[in-house]
Amino acid sequence: MSNYLLLPLAALPFPQIDPVIVQLGPLAIHWYGLGYVVGLLFAWWYAKRMVSDDRLWGPSGSPISAVDIDDFLLWAAAGVVLGGRLGYILFYDFAKYAANPAGIFAVWEGGMSFHGGLAGVTIAMIIFARRRGFSAWSLFDVIAASAPVGFGLVRVTNFINSELWGRPTDVPWAFVFPNGGPEPRHPSQLYEAALEGLVLFVVLRILTHSAFKLRQPGFVAGAMIAGYGLSRIFVEFFRQPDAHIGYLAGGWLTMGMILSTPMVLLGIWAMTSARSR
């Protein structure tokens, strides 16, 4: 672990949590990787419960079986990891990986793009649904409702890793991050964990289990996409942009905002057109 800076009285002490949970010879288990694994396993378990509950789907029941969810788990993992890594390389740090291609495979060091992961798992869902003969929209809904817990866990591990920290601030809950300079900063990772993880999960839970929106294919997926996009755009006002990208216009626009805006528009379209499906 890095040596910790002397903290000003206005900032909270950064928790001294080693990013590596356990080291077994050359094999290191990181909190970051564990966040992805636990998020995927929770999504698998939660999705199976939803497709097995006919009450959520109406008289015709779920078009997706629990076995389908079992089989899709590996597809989802591949889509998230490959898409997330490729998205980060293309949108956030292409020059670095072009100069050092071997670094592409060092996923334990961080460097995953949510937008790339979303694209990767979406492609996986479309192909899988077509092969199984059911609507991709219903699979979108099930996976969308299951995903926010994983979002939140990964953001918490970003905090543990002291990465993706926020902009300098004087709020009383600011932290001085070990590699973030001497000034207190917003814990923007925790903001994202709360909004993209907890709040979004609760909203989608209400839509699936109280409003029965799984009966309108695409509505829940649209709500997740729009909700994530709005949460990300909001948090970008507190999050420090990547140093090699910075602000793109006017001293406030960031790459995260640009990539999230189409998500909001797509999500609104998916919700408003769901009834016609």
Q: Which residues are annotated as a binding site?
A: 155
- Closest to 68 measured CA to CA, from 120, 119, 123, 128: 128
Sole residue written with tokens 């029965």: 212
- Helices within 30-181 (DSSP H only): 31-51, 66-91, 94-99, 114-132, 136-146, 148-160
Closest listed residue to residue 124, CA positions, set 159, 79, 157: 79
For the record, the structure tokens of 45 come out as 């378990």
Query: CA-to-CA distance for 56 and 62, rounded, in angstroms?
Result: 8
Neighbours of 73 (CB within 10 A): 15
Question: Is the CB of residue 208 less than 8 Å from the CB of residue 145?
Answer: yes
